[in-house]
Amino acid sequence: MTMQDTDKALFEAAEAVRARAYAPYSKFQVGAAILADDGKIYAGCNVENAAYPVGNCAEPSAIAAMLAGGGKRIRRIYVTGPGATPVTPCGGCRQRIREFADLDVEVVSHGVDGAPLVQTLGQLLPHSFGPEFLGK
């Protein structure tokens, strides 16, 4: 599968799950799709809660799906949201991605009315703290 085909599949998975996001408060639905080390695509959406900050962002929802499905490492991640500006993972999500991805993994951030932004995790989270610092 080419990178173009991979991104198309990831985009479609992120958009499909974004349509099911539970965002009654912010009205900002986000979808995320992960290509994992097992070759499968895992998706997740944001889930809000009236008791902030109990909800989940799309990226950790996709990570949980990956782990539950048997994947262990992120090979590529695609995040979609509304508007033209790329929807990049928040700081907490960048750290969560860091736990399961190498710094050279590409993160595609896409406001679906604009062009996607492709950056490595290292660009999104420079000088990061990872599991290897804890002797893992």
Identify the active-site residue in 15, 48, 59, 99: 59
Token pair recorded at residue 16:
């499909």
Q: How far from each other are the two terminal CA atoms of the chain, in whole angstroms?
A: 32
pLDDT at 136: 61
Is 59 a known active-site residue? yes
pTM for the full predicted model: 0.95
Q: What are phi and psi of 16, to 5 degrees?
A: -65, -45
Percent of the chain at pLDDT > 90 equals 92
pLDDT digits 0-9 by tens, 29-76: 999 999 999 999 999 999 999 998 899 999 999 999 999 999 999 999
Q: How far is CA 125 from CA 15, 93, 128, in A?
A: 25, 10, 6
